[in-house]
Structures are given as C-alpha cells and as structure tokens.
Amino acid sequence: MQTTSSTRTQVAIVGAGPAGLFLSHLLHRQGIESVILEHRSREEIEGTIRAGVLEQWVVDLMNDMGLGDRMMREGHFHSGITLRFDRQSHHIDMAELTGGKRVTVYAQHEVIRDLVSARLEDGGSILFGVSDVQFHDLDGKTPRVQFRRSPDGPVEELRCDFVAGCDGFHGPSRQAIPAATRTEYQIVYPFGWLGILTEAPPSHPELIYANHERGFALLSTRSPEVQRLYIQVDPKDDIANWSDDRIWSELHRRLEDESGWTLKEGPIFQKGIIAMRSFVCDPMQHGRLFIAGDAAHIVPPTGAKGLNLAVADVLVLSRAMTAYYKTGSSEGLDRYSATCLRRIWKAERFSWYMTTMLHRNEHESPFEQRVHLAELDYVVHSRAAMTALAENYVGLPME
C-alpha cells in the first residue's frame, strides 16, 4: 500500500482490548510512548458485554496504577466458590486456603471502560475504527504498521521500535508470525455455553459451579440488579430453540440442591451460545513483534483465566521493554515467549481440569464420567486438593 503520511512512536499496539490497554498504561508509567490501533469503535469495545473474574494480583495491580476506584466501588469480592454435584453443595473457602486472597467479579467491558477513559485522560493515543492493518520490516530495527482510519481513507504508516499484537484470536498479528516457525495447539470442546443476563436479585453471594446429569451450569453475578448464568448446551444449537421458560427450567434442575435453595428468576434481556476451545501459539514473538492475550492463547471460561492471562502477558512485556529502553538489555524481550508460556500452560491445565471435571461429555464412557465425579468428591474432602484448586483460581504468583 502506498502511504500518504508517516508518524513515529516507540511501541505500536494493535488492539484495544484488555491486553493492549493495560500495556499502554504500563508503558506510559515508565515514560515509553505508544499508539493503540483498534478496528472497532469506542462504543463497540465498551458495549460488548463480557463477564470478568479478576485474580487478586490483577486487582492489586489496577489499584497500584490508580485505575481501580470504580472496580472497588462496584465489583463483587468473592472469598470462595461453591461446587455442586449429586444435589449436594460444597463450599471452597479460597481466602482461608490461600492466606486471604480472593477474586473480584468485575465485567471485562467495565475494565475496558476504565482503561480507555484513563488512557485518554492521560493524553494517550487510541485510534478507533482503523482497517487494513499490515506489518512490514518486523525483522528490522524499525518495523512499520500500515492502516486506514476508515475503509476508504488514505493509507497511513506508523513507524516504531516494537509491535505488540493484542488483536485477539482473529486479528492479523499471529498470522504475521511465519507459519513454518509457529506451532498451534488446540482442543475444540464438544459442548458450549448458553449464557443469559437477567434482571433479578442475587440468588447466592458467590459463584456456583454445578455438575449435573443434564450438563454443567454456572451461577454468577453482574450487579445487585443483574445476574449472569450459563448452562451447557450443544455449541451448534440454535438459540431460537431456547425459550426463556426452557432456560429457567434447565437452570432450576441443574443448580438446585437438597438444601431447599431456590434460584431467583427475572426477565432475560440477553442470551446467546458460545463455543469453547483451548488454544496456544508457540512462540509468541517474531522479530520485533510480540503477541499477547487472545492473539496468543484461548482458554475455556470455566477457569476464569482469559483476562488475567492477557494482563500477565503484557506485564512481562512491559518489564522487558522497560529494561530495553533503560539499560539496553534485550534479555527480557528474547525470553518473552518462554516466560509467558510457563504461566499460560499452567492456566491451560487448570482450565482444562475444571472444564472436564464439571461438564458432561456425551462422547465419554460411563467410566470416565464416574471418574469426574470421583475427582469432585476428592476435591471437596481433601484440604490439599482444595488448596490446589484455590491457589490456581485466585491466581498463581507472578514471577
């Protein structure tokens, strides 16, 4: 593409999701310039409703960066979770098992709103609605990113020292790593989640994960007035087949136990079906391109690791870039992929473990299904097993 204008920054960030926005903030704190290129509008990224469970260290990081005021006012702080199977409920006290750590339920789109607002207030550069992003000279010392600010607009060029690909699973960044040099690992699960948002009061103070003979169910929260719930379904099913009455009937059957606890209903104002996969790209870097977040890895939502892994990636990357600019050392940049992948594979393991233990897979034998129930029974009666689950759920320490 022939360019009409060229500008310069230190780090070009492609994608204004959690990874890209956190990276821009972290670099700004170290005096490193960045420009974010995002193909969606600000309204789209702030209005795409997605759940979010933040690990303890991510909450601490947001507060340390001065970005956590609204989260601390409006978030829901959970010290434990409930595992429900065979119509019995078992509470996992994560705070007691991990020395006081907990998780915070604060939707991903709310995190994005906070990060966008603060970055723009700081004078940060976020270009929304860009298209036709292309990379050049990634192996050289001055990579170039070409793009258009509108589909019919002129081609512009952003010259930089480094490119951070934070543009999600379907973005161009991962594809810029030569296919011959990257390995992609993937599992596509034979089930999906039907998720709803409902105007109803909370039915339980914390999350409930249920293994039921009819399939998995999850009770979560969004706010004191809005709740988020999920049930396991065929990922190829049509949402039109699921009336509100059918959804509530399944939620009651899968979530209620012998204690007499009852699910509270309300009007459903959003529902949809999502497929589930696990995915990892290795390596996460090529020349002066570094990919992070969903561009590099996907986890099923059962383990609540997606946003947290994205933040971990860019924290590692920001530290490596800071060392490069302050000392000239490229050691951290050279080891970026290896450092991140150690944590990523642990999160992939935990997410796979939670997913296979809690879901009913019609392709599994009765023997395998009984093993999953035995695993649940072991977890809720072994302090060592509960501790392992709790440590992974609230977040492993950052290296």
- Supply the pLDDT for residue 1: 57
H-type alpha helices, 235-283 = 244-255
CA–CA separation, 105 and 221 (whole Å): 7
Number of residues in the chain = 399
Structural domain boundaries, residue 53: 5-76+106-185+278-350
Q: Does 282 lie in the same domain as 343? A: yes
For 318, what's the count of Cα atoms within 13 Å in the CB-facing half-sphere?
23
209 catalytically annotated: yes
Domain contains 121: yes
- Does 151 share its domain with 29? yes
Handedness of CA 106, 109, 113, 118 (dihedral sign): positive
State the total domains in the chain: 2
User: What's the pLDDT at 49?
Assistant: 77
Q: Is residue 307 part of a domain?
A: yes
301 in catalytic set: yes
Q: What is the mean pLDDT of residues 369-392?
A: 97
In a domain, 399, yes or no: no
Average pLDDT over residues 377-389: 98
Residue 166 lies in a domain: yes
DSSP state of 154: P
* Mean pLDDT of the 254-282 span: 96
Over residues 220-267, the pLDDT tens digits come to 988 889 999 999 999 999 999 999 999 999 999 999 999 999 999 999
Residue 360 is predicted with a pLDDT of 93
117 and 36 part of one domain: yes
Closest CA to 160 of 315, 7, 326: 7
Of the residues 76, 101, 106, 209, which is catalytic? 209
Given the residues 106, 189, 336, 393, the one annotated as active site: 393
**pLDDT, mean over the chain:** 95
* 136 and 236 co-located in one domain: no
Q: Are residues 390 and 303 in the same domain?
A: no
Which one is catalytic: 305, 324, 336, 372?
Answer: 305
Q: What is the CATH number of the domain that holds 170?
A: 3.50.50.60
Residues 60 and 132 in one domain: yes
pLDDT for the residue numbered 22: 98
Phi-psi label, residue 23: left if phi above 0, alpha if psi -120 to 50, beta otherwise: alpha
Instruction: Give the angle subtended at the CA of 305 by the CAs of 350 and 174, to the nearest 5°.
Output: 105
Whether residue 19 is found in the same domain as residue 143: yes
Residue 125 lies in a domain: yes
Percentage of residues of the chain with pLDDT beyond 70 = 99
Q: Are residues 211 and 112 part of one domain?
A: no
Do 140 and 121 lie in a common domain?
yes
Classify residue 355: in a domain, yes or no.
no
pLDDT tens digits, one per residue of 170-206? 999 999 999 999 999 999 999 999 999 999 999 999 9
- Is 24 contained in some domain? yes
Q: How far apart are CA 182 and CA 1, in angstroms?
A: 27
Whether 305 is a known active-site residue: answer yes
Q: Of 331, 287, 317, give the one whose Cα is nearest residue 142.
A: 287
Pairing of the two strands 217-221 and 226-233: antiparallel
How many other CB atoms are there within 10 angstroms of residue 363's CB atom? 7
Tens of pLDDT, residues 331-374: 999 999 999 999 999 999 999 999 999 999 988 999 999 999 99
Q: How confident is the model at residue 398 (pLDDT cuts 50, 70, 90)?
A: confident
- Regarding whether 151 and 204 lie in a shared domain, the answer is no
Q: Are residues 119 and 43 in the same domain?
A: yes
Question: One of 78, 101, 286, 372 is an active-site residue; which one?
Answer: 78
* Residue 172 maps to a domain: yes
Bond from prior residue into 283 cis (ω within 30 degrees of 0): yes
d(CA 301, CA 304): 5
Which class for 260: exposed (0-12), middle (13-18), buried (19 or more C-beta within 10 A)?
exposed
* Measured CA distances, 325 to 27, 30, 155, 207, 329 (Å): 11, 9, 29, 43, 8
Set 189, 301, 359, 372: catalytic member: 301
pLDDT tens column, 84-133: 999 999 999 999 999 999 999 999 999 999 999 999 999 999 999 999 99
Query: How much of the chain, in percent, has pLDDT values that exceed 90?
Result: 93
| Whether residue 121 is found in the same domain as residue 13 | yes
- Give the pLDDT of residue 136: 97
What is the C-alpha to C-alpha distance for residues 311 and 54, in angstroms, rounded to an integer?
A: 10
CA distances (Å), 183 to each of 53, 99, 289, in order? 29, 38, 16
